[in-house]
Chains A and B, each alone.
Chain A
């Protein structure tokens, strides 16, 4: 049931985005954003194939704003473990991110996003493939600098267990 709901939501977002091709939403310069982030990473048991993995992470993301409330981003992260024996963690995600706050025209330094997408986790990217649901709460400190916390639930595929992960990070926008 959860997977069906997730599929319906992703399908809905894809459906919502589909008219974009005819509406000059291909203006990459106006809509693309490049960012990098660093902070802490915590995975629950079985997360990415590691039990209760914790570490520091560095990541980058390419974001495409298809609507003032909807963006799609691809992110690549590398995690350095707090305990050497845990091994390094690598993961990539593609996420459709719905901005649920603010949802009006008024500007705000705070924002809440709810996202759904696909993730590839593990010592090597792709050791485990998941469908992910996530929430991000972010605060803008400066025009190019924000901080945020991400909580994500990864739905395991093909009888693999679900897991959760949390990311607390500073995020800086490189472009534009």
Chain B
């Protein structure tokens, strides 16, 4: 149950473009290899951590901010028409 929930949320994020390649295949492989949910979660978490580490570190955040600053300098910052969706 827990593994299925984690898999569902992760798959949704991945399919929407949060960008980790090969997640579906890895989920299938883990399901076959590990009968126990706790082992499945551990295996998938280890795999995901390894995949995300290069892109979700501080350097990645700094690069994002740098990109935003460059857009502003170039006058290409744009406007997010849905910005207020996040204003909770």
Residues on A lying within 8 angstroms of B by beta carbon are 9, 12-13, 15-17, 19-20, 23-25, 30-31, 33-35, 37, 59, 61, 63-71, 73, 75, 95, 97-99, 101-104, 106, 108, 110-111, 113, 115, 136, 138, 140, 146, 148-150, 167, 169, 171, 173
Q: How many residues of B contact A (CB 8 A)?
A: 27
- Whether A71 touches B18, Cβ cut-off 8 Å, given contacts A13-B65, A20-B72, is no
Q: How far is the CA of A169 from the CA of B82 in the complex (A)?
A: 16
Known pairs A16-B69, A98-B64, A102-B17; A171 contacts B78 (CB<8 A)? no
Q: Which 7 A-B pairs have the closest CB atoms?
A: A113-B86, A68-B78, A61-B87, A71-B83, A33-B84, A35-B84, A65-B83
Chain B residues with CB below 8 A from A150, complex form: 88
Q: Does B61 contact A (CB under 8 A)?
A: yes
Check if B49 is an interface residue, CB within 8 A of chain A: no
Minimal Cβ-Cβ distance residue in B for A37: B88
The answer to whether B65 and A16 have CB atoms under 8 Å apart is: yes
How distant is A101 from chain B, measured CB to nearest CB, in Å? 6
| Chain B residues positioned under 8 Å from A16 (CB to CB) | 65-66, 68-69, 72
* Alpha-carbon separation in the docked complex, A35 to B82 (Å): 11
CB contacts (< 8 Å) of B75 on chain A: these are 23-24
Q: Which residue of A lies closest to B88 (CB)?
A: A150
B61 to chain A: closest residue by CB? A9
B73 near A: Cβ within 8 Å? yes
Can you show 9 pairs from A to B with CB atoms below 8 A apart?
A13-B65, A19-B69, A24-B75, A97-B83, A138-B86, A138-B88, A140-B85, A148-B88, A171-B88
